[in-house]
Structure 1
């Protein structure tokens, strides 16, 4: 059995925790900046007509990676819950080990990539003569092992190591994208850049005894419950992936004859750029948010007030900035072919508030051990967004903005209402410990 939490001291309080969170903040900023640079390099190299090929490949990979993030979320919850007072459930046989769990899940997802390859052309995904499929399969295997590592580091609040993982991941991706640009690559190099960071978990395991110790942490659930919870988290994470990283794929799949090709590339780029200031930090801090809510279960839905207020305020400020300087910034960084009106950029930035709020309420539902509610909110949001994207009349940019704001907004209502009802039925919001 893994060593009890009390015997494994980590910097969870005081100056050690504060330093770790500062490191995580800096790592998140670097990851966001490097992501922007990759997009700039790809946009400059490929142009508005070919850029959607890169964007859909990038989106498809991180959408599938987002599904794997369900393992990270459940690992974070299970490890942290075991450490804050809920002792691990007595188990028979071998306990769950996070790295083998990541390997098993990664192989399954890699097989999904390979088996789905015949459908790629109809979805607008470039195969690069089969090399793109192999690269994505290898990358998703590494991504899943990285998710297991990130969950262990987050659950034990080793924020400095988690920050190092994010930093190296982003740096590798940026490095490979720079090489692709230098070589004048037409696409395959950017596919390699997309997955390059997924080797980081191996470096962490090889070089850090603390990372290896985190992966040996006790969980608050037996094997059956752990995999049920992970499956539920992955199902909801699939919805997250559709709205966060996979949405460009749905945009290209719902393009109408009246939508010119350069507009499609410009809208996809604008969606990515305008959402990143909110969603990249939230994605990086997702484990910290889960820990935040785990430690505030007794507060119930009241714990949502501060995080939701913060993301709303940031979104409003960001929308104003996008209106004022967005067109100029895109013109300078990417070229006039990608430019959109300031009002469109402001609307897309404001729309990111809906998805950001849904991420916050979803993490709260997960932390409160309400996995079914977590799923319901995300998939209601996905269906609403896709229906709006297809059914609303008007140009692509208008349809996208409305779908990205209203769809997630409906999901937020589902999460909050469900948490209110659950709190009234069980005020203590005590975690369950069925094996």
Structure 2
């Protein structure tokens, strides 16, 4: 029998939100410090690599969502330990091979002269995060909230230390690449020793390894689309918005990075928690989605107004006017962030209801719309901001279809 932590609803969200806030703060420090100690061109290069890493991470996060859904505290069924170990090792190998095998297609254009040195850390990050995602999914599915929180915080803390060390040593973009990648492996090793070994033996799976892989393919597809909308956005802008010029592009990426995080990152980090919550109380899923969505949009409106007032002043204070944009852009970017966060919320509801196709479809249509919009919109900061804000609305509509059907089907 499992020793999952009691009081899942209140204590669980406290642990996860606390860990998310701390990890987000640590990541925020990295994002704020790097542009202060690099040139504009080097900052763009760093954000493109960071974005590439977290686009891969976002895709692999689909594995965590499916493991979360499939893993439950063990009752009378057999332990899922062997299946989970096989699955985690297979996924880690697969993603590392995919990164290396396809690198010749995208790495030169994405990373430029540093491509040869950045492929290896990206592959290591992909393999290590596959293990992080599998173990984290076990923690969430078994309701081991403290362990899930510990994995989140240890990963972020190790990355901050490694990045600051790389900056202090003047390690360059390749050194920064390894500083971003290695903490994934260190964090999963640490949490495996602390509680992971016991946790994988205390859960049972509702699918076979083959079924887990098949379902994960759907959630990975949805998560890849999620990554395009969120963590992969700077990479996407680096490819499609070069006509803005280096100065405006760097300023827009910085504003997006620093202002979207308070809204998007918590909802993204809470995906597994939301999946469990909706899964275990399907009769309340639609109502909770609506209530939480309204609250989220209300918070977005407040933050957008505040961002327009204080955002330009803070950026000017920190970076001496190097990344200047109009105040209205801050409000537009934050509004888009709130809509993207709402897409995270509705996506969790669709996935928990078992509507894998609509879950993937919502994210895929939103990200596809964003890519097309960025390719066809005229050059300028505001057309980019509008595209970022409109795309998630389309995905939300698709996800709400799944929730409406679930509400109708639930007596």
Q: Is TM-score (shorter-chain normalized) higher than 0.5?
A: yes
Q: Decide which moves more: 34-43 or 214-223.
A: 214-223
Residues 151, 237 of structure 1: CA spacing in aligned structure 2 closer, same or farther, 3 A cutoff? same
Answer whether contact 1:354 1:404 (CA < 8 A) is retained: no
How far has the Cα of 1:59 moved from its partner?
0.7
Q: Which residue of 2 aligns with 1:269?
A: 254
Matched, 1:405 2:389: yes
**1:50 aligned to 2:42?**
yes
**C-alpha distance after superposition, 1:155-200 (max 9, x if no partner):** 1111111111111101111001111221233312221222132021
- State the distance in 2 between where 1:363 and 1:400 align: 27
Report the RMSD for the aligned CA atoms in angstroms.
2.2
Structure 1 residue 45, shift from structure 2 partner: 1.9
* Counterpart Cα distance in 1 of 2:270 and 2:405: 27
Instruction: Indicate whether 1:9 and 2:8 are aligned.
Output: no
* SS at 1:204 equivalent: helix
Give the one of 183, 188, 192 matched to 2:178. 192
Deviation at 1:36?
1.3
Deviations 1:62-89 (Å, cap 9, x if unpaired)?
Answer: 1111111111000111114x77x9x86x
* Unaligned segments of structure 2, at least 5 residues: none
Q: Is the 8 A contact 2:83 2:208 kept in 1?
A: no
Greater helix proportion:
2
Is 1:364 matched up with 2:345?
no
Q: CA deviation at 1:20?
A: 4.6
Aligned to 1:160: 146
Q: CA deviation at 1:263?
A: 0.8
**Superposed displacement of residue 19, structure 1:** 4.1
Cα distance, 1:315 vs structure 2:
1.4
Answer yes or no: is 1:111 the counterpart of 2:97: yes
Scaled by the length of structure 2, what TM-score is found? 0.93
CA distance in 2, matches of 1:335, 1:79: 50
Quick check: 352-361 or 304-313, which moved more? 304-313
Cα distance change of structure 1 residues 24 and 302 upon mapping to structure 2, 3 Å threshold: closer
Question: Which secondary structure state, in structure 1, belongs to the residue aligned with residue 205 of structure 2?
Answer: coil
Contact kept in structure 1, 2:87 and 2:209, CA below 8 Å: no
Q: CA deviation at 1:282?
A: 1.5
**CA gap 1:419/1:20 in 2 versus in 1, 3 angstroms:** closer
* 4+ residue segments displaced more than 6 Å: none
SS in 2 for 1:218: strand
**Which residue is 2:55 aligned to?**
63
Give the one of 189, 194, 200 matched to 1:207. Answer: 194
1:38 counterpart = 2:30: yes
- Paired position in structure 1 for 2:227: 241
Figure out how many residues of one structure are paired with residues of the other and give that number.
409
Q: Alignment partner of 1:130: what SS? A: helix
Structure 1 CA distance for aligned equivalents of residues 382 and 213 of structure 2? 40
2:322 counterpart SS class: helix
Q: Distance in 1 between matches of 2:115 and 2:281?
A: 51
2:98 and 2:71 mapped to 1: Cα distance?
A: 28
**Superimposed CA distance per residue, residues 245-273 of structure 1 (whole angstroms, 9 cap, x where no aligned partner):** 1111111111254x211111111111111
> Secondary structure of 1:348's partner?
helix
Deviation at 1:134, TM superposition (A): 0.8
1-side partners of 2:247 and 2:240: how far apart? Answer: 15
SS at match of 1:194: helix
Relative to structure 1, the CA distance from residue 122 to residue 192 in structure 2 (aligned partners, 3 Å threshold; closer, same or farther) is: closer
**Structure 1 unaligned regions, length at least 5:** 1-6, 429-435
**1:114, CA displacement in angstroms?**
0.9
Checking the alignment, whether the CA contact within 8 Å between 2:307 and 2:330 is kept in structure 1 is: yes
Asked if the contact 1:71–1:230 (Cα under 8 Å) also holds between the matched residues in 2, the reply is yes
Q: Which residues in structure 2 correspond to 1:35-434 (within 5 Å)?
A: 35-80=27-72, 97-126=83-112, 128=114, 130-199=116-185, 200-208=187-195, 211-216=196-201, 217-257=203-243, 259-395=244-380, 397-424=381-408, 426-427=409-410
Deviations 1:212-238 (A, max 9, x none): 232231011223322221111111111
- Per the TM alignment, residue 152 of structure 1 is displaced from its structure 2 partner at its CA by 0.4
Pair 357,48 (structure 1): closer, same or farther in 2 beyond 3 Å: same
